[in-house]
Amino acid sequence: MHHGFWNNIEKPILALAPMADVTDAAFREIIARYGKPDVLWTEFVSADGLMSEGRERLMLDLKYSEEERPIVAQIFGSNPDNFYRTALLLNELGFDGIDINMGCPDRSVEKQHAGAALIEDLDLAAEIIREAKRGAGNLPVSVKTRIGYRKNEIETLTPRLLEAGPAALTFHLRTRKEMSKVPAHWELAGGIVKIRDKAKSETLILGNGDVESLEEARSRAEETGMDGIMVGRGIFGNPWLFNPSINRDDLPLEERFRVMLEHVRLFEKFFRKPGEETKNFDVMKKHFKAYVSGFDGAKELRMRLMDAANGDEIRKILKEEFPKMSTSG
């Protein structure tokens, strides 16, 4: 079992969850600068797509900068051979690790027997992990999954996944059926750790679900015995989330907006080059909504930003609202 970079991180490991159309290269670079977690994940990318004619378009989701290391590429699919070949590619691209998505509830992903659908086919899941490991060389292969499909299945699911020997296993502590409609079942986390210990497995166990802050992540790790915690939604509008010395709400608004503009600039640099616009500017709008909250006049400013069509319009609006703020650079 190759643990790679996982062995060099002090516990508890604090990781940023991969989120489609959120944790892209632009946002991850901002996070790496202002509040870097112990591990970063790419958005999930289709192994089938990477092994098809459509590869070029998907390579965009595998962009990363050196500042982000250790950076893990997350892939999904259900064809073991494509996992093997994709792992070879990810090794060439210089990633620090490879993660297999076994938790995404998206219908179009599940139709391909991928994501959370793999929870219902553990033979296939084990084969996929084996093939990814075979192609990964010295790169550690990890898995992110849920606690079950329709019900809690940790008693059967965990041992089967541990047998396949992933370097790390992250559990989103809800079933596929529950989506995000109920609170995450943190009461089950200690049981997963016990199963791992009983199996004498060296796989690291991480938990994910509803964790909004660094303090909460640390206390969850302590009370459950998990090796690490993955934080997701709390990162919206708060690239300082993993920075223990900065509380976003204590920052002057100008600083918050300066970083938001930096985020816009990187988004345009990566995804809006003239002639090859690859991501819709609307992707940024959920970020504006989160950056611009919690102060008087936030709602009005937010509404103006939501109507903007590009970075120049965003800069102009902020210049009007905050004349002293520097919007250049």
Structural domains in the chain plus CATH codes: 4-235 (3.20.20.70), 251-321 (no CATH)
- How high is the pLDDT of residue 277? 65
For residue 104, indicate whether it is catalytic.
yes
Active-site position among 32, 102, 104, 109: 104
- How high is the pLDDT of residue 233? 82
Give the span between the Cα atoms of 140 and 41, in whole angstroms: 13
- How high is the pLDDT of residue 329? 47
Angle of helix 189-198 relative to helix 214-224, nearest 10 degrees, comes to: 50
- How high is the pLDDT of residue 185? 98
Q: Name the burial class of residue 169, with classes exposed (0-12), middle (13-18) and buried (19+) by CB atoms within 10 angstroms of its CB.
A: buried
Retrieve residue 237's tokens: 């509008």
Give the span between the Cα atoms of 194 and 224, in whole angstroms: 10
Distance of CA 122 to the CA centre of its chain: 23
- How high is the pLDDT of residue 279? 86
Q: Are residues 172 and 182 in contact, defined by beta-carbon separation less than 8 angstroms?
A: no
Q: Which residues in the chain show pLDDT less than 70?
A: 1, 277, 326-329
- How high is the pLDDT of residue 278? 81
- How high is the pLDDT of residue 274? 74
Instruction: Render pLDDT for 54-65 as a digit per residue (tens, 0 to 9).
Output: 888 889 899 999
Q: Output DSSP code: residue 39.
A: B
- How high is the pLDDT of residue 180? 80
Q: Are residues 223 and 4 in contact, defined by beta-carbon separation less than 8 angstroms?
A: no
Which residues touch 45 (CB under 8 Å, ≥6 apart)?
58, 61, 62, 73, 74, 75, 76
Single-letter code of the amino acid located at 67: E
Q: Model pTM?
A: 0.94
Give the span between the Cα atoms of 14 and 149, in whole angstroms: 26
